[in-house]
Amino acid sequence: MQDSSKSPLRSTDTLANERTFLAYLRTALAFIAFGFVVARFALFEREISVVAHIAIPGRQTSATFGIVMAVAGIVVGCYGSVRYVLTSRALRKDEVSEMPMWAALAGGIIIAAIGVEVAISLLRF
């Protein structure tokens, strides 16, 4: 009798893994683009302060936050690539590759920290 618990690799599983990988890439690009925009806003703030002869408090915050967002995008893209490869290998072995608990917690904490930083920055102005 054949083992019914083993199933062959299905195209739907492979395509779902690819869609997830593309979602990681879109998220990474969004982080990088947002970081670029925020960092460029710091440049705009600096130019305005020079032209208007005023001091804008916390000018460096925008540049730092933009750089952090861009680096976060790079990390998300790299992690998505690793997850894609690990999941693809697991699918070929008819196994399940779960996301590690540390990755889920780290992602949630990082997003919460970004939200807190944005909220604090908005409250300052």
In angstroms, how far is CA 37 from the centroid of its own chain? 16
Specify if 1 maps to a domain: no
Specify if 5 maps to a domain: no
Specify if 120 maps to a domain: yes
Tally Cβ neighbours within 10 Å of residue 77.
Answer: 18
Specify if 2 maps to a domain: no
> How large is the average pLDDT for residues 65-81?
92
Q: How many separate domains does the chain show?
A: 1
Q: What is the pTM of this model?
A: 0.75
How many whole angstroms separate alpha carbon 47 and alpha carbon 41?
10
The answer on pLDDT for 89 being more than 50 is yes
pLDDT at residue 65, rounded to an integer = 84
Residues 21, 26, 30, 33, Cα dihedral to 10°: 110
> How large is the average pLDDT for residues 3-23?
81
pLDDT at residue 124, rounded to an integer = 73
The answer on pLDDT for 8 being more than 80 is no
Tell me which residue range forms the domain holding 32.
12-124
Specify if 23 maps to a domain: yes
pLDDT at residue 59, rounded to an integer = 61
Specify if 7 maps to a domain: no
pLDDT at residue 77, rounded to an integer = 95
Specify if 3 maps to a domain: no
Specify if 6 maps to a domain: no
The answer on pLDDT for 122 being more than 80 is no
> How large is the average pLDDT for residues 83-104?
91
Q: What confidence category does residue 51 fall into, taking pLDDT thresholds of 50, 70 and 90?
A: confident
